[in-house]
Amino acid sequence: MLKGFWYIAGESTAIRAGRPFAAMLCNQPLVLFRDGQGRVHALDNRCPHKGVPLSSAWQEGDSLRCPFHGWRFVASGECVEVPAIGKVAHPSPASACVKTFPAEERDGWVWVYMGNDRCPKPSVPPPSLPVLADGSPMVSVRRSAEAKVRWDFAVDSLIDPAHVPFVHHNYFRRREAARKKGKVFTRLPLGFRTISQNVLLPDTFIFRALSLRLGSATTTVDFVLPGIHSERWEIGARFASVMLVATPLTDERSRFDICVGWNFLRGIPVGGLVRRTLKTILGQDRDVLELQEQGFGRQGSMLLNLESDTLAVWYRQLKKYYSDTLAGVHDPQHPVPEKVTLSWTT
Ligand code: FES
Ligand SMILES: [Fe+2]
Domain boundaries in the chain? 5-114, 139-345
> Domain 139-345 falls in which CATH fold?
Naphthalene 1,2-dioxygenase Alpha Subunit; Chain A, domain 1 (3.90.380)
- Collect all residues with Cβ–Cβ distance below 8 Å to 40 and sequence separation of at least 6: 12, 15, 32, 33, 34, 103, 104, 105, 110
pLDDT of residue 173: 66
Nearest protein Cα to ligand 1, atom 4: 69
For residue 188, name the pLDDT band (cuts at 50, 70, 90): very high
* Spatial distance between the Cα atoms of 233 and 242, rounded to a whole number of angstroms: 9
* Spatial distance between the Cα atoms of 132 and 239, rounded to a whole number of angstroms: 7
Spacing, Cα 292 to ligand 2 middle (Å): 13
H or E element in which residue 147 lies:
strand 139-147
* Spatial distance between the Cα atoms of 87 and 67, rounded to a whole number of angstroms: 17
For residue 86, name the pLDDT band (cuts at 50, 70, 90): confident
* Spatial distance between the Cα atoms of 232 and 169, rounded to a whole number of angstroms: 22
Query: Residue 54 CA: which ligand is closest?
Result: 1
The average confidence (pLDDT) of the chain is 92
- Collect all residues with Cβ–Cβ distance below 8 Å to 13 and sequence separation of at least 6: 108
Same fold? 5-114, 139-345? no
Query: Residue 66 CA: which ligand is closest?
Result: 1
**Residues at CB less than 6 angstroms from ligand 1:** 47, 49-50, 52, 66, 68-71
Going by C-alpha positions, the residue among 13, 63, 55, 53 that lies closest to residue 32 is 55
Spacing, Cα 113 to ligand 1 middle (Å): 26
Query: Residue 157 CA: which ligand is closest?
Result: 2
For residue 88, name the pLDDT band (cuts at 50, 70, 90): confident
For residue 211, name the pLDDT band (cuts at 50, 70, 90): low
The model's pLDDT over 266-308, given as tens digits with 9 standing for 90+, comes to: 777 788 888 999 999 999 999 999 999 999 987 788 999 899 9
φ, ψ at 336 (rounded to 5°): -90, 125
Question: What number of other Cβ atoms are within 10 A of residue 1's Cβ?
Answer: 19
pLDDT of residue 210: 66
Is the pLDDT at 22 greater than 80, yes or no? yes
Between vectors from CA 185 to CA 182 and to CA 187, what angle results, nearest 5°?
A: 175
Is the pLDDT at 12 greater than 70, yes or no? yes
Spacing, Cα 136 to ligand 1 middle (Å): 49
Spacing, Cα 159 to ligand 1 middle (Å): 45
pLDDT of residue 209: 67
Query: Residue 85 CA: which ligand is closest?
Result: 1
Using the atom order of ligand 1, give the atom closest to the CA of residue 47. Answer: 2
CATH number of 5-114: 2.102.10.10
* Alpha helix (H) residue ranges in the chain: 151-158, 164-167, 205-209, 271-299, 310-327
Is the pLDDT at 213 greater than 60, yes or no? no
Asked whether 216 and 235 are in contact (CB, 8 A), the reply is yes
For residue 237, name the pLDDT band (cuts at 50, 70, 90): confident
Please give the full DSSP string across 74-85, using - where no structure is assigned: ETTS-EEE-TTT
Spacing, Cα 58 to ligand 1 middle (Å): 12
Is the pLDDT at 342 greater than 60, yes or no? yes
Is the pLDDT at 178 greater than 90, yes or no? no
Asked whether the bond before 53 is cis by omega within 30 degrees of 0, the reply is no
pLDDT of residue 246: 98
* Spatial distance between the Cα atoms of 189 and 302, rounded to a whole number of angstroms: 27
Using the atom order of ligand 1, give the atom closest to the CA of residue 71. Answer: 3
Spacing, Cα 66 to ligand 1 middle (Å): 6
Using the atom order of ligand 1, give the atom closest to the CA of residue 54. Answer: 2
Percent of the chain topping pLDDT 70 = 95
- Collect all residues with Cβ–Cβ distance below 8 Å to 72 and sequence separation of at least 6: 60, 63, 64, 65, 66, 79, 80, 81
Output the pTM of the full model: 0.94
For residue 198, name the pLDDT band (cuts at 50, 70, 90): confident
Asked whether 220 and 232 are in contact (CB, 8 A), the reply is yes
Strand order in the sheet with 58-60: 58-60, 63-65, 72-74, 79-81
Greater confidence (51 vs 269) lies with: 51
Over residues 146-174, mean pLDDT = 90
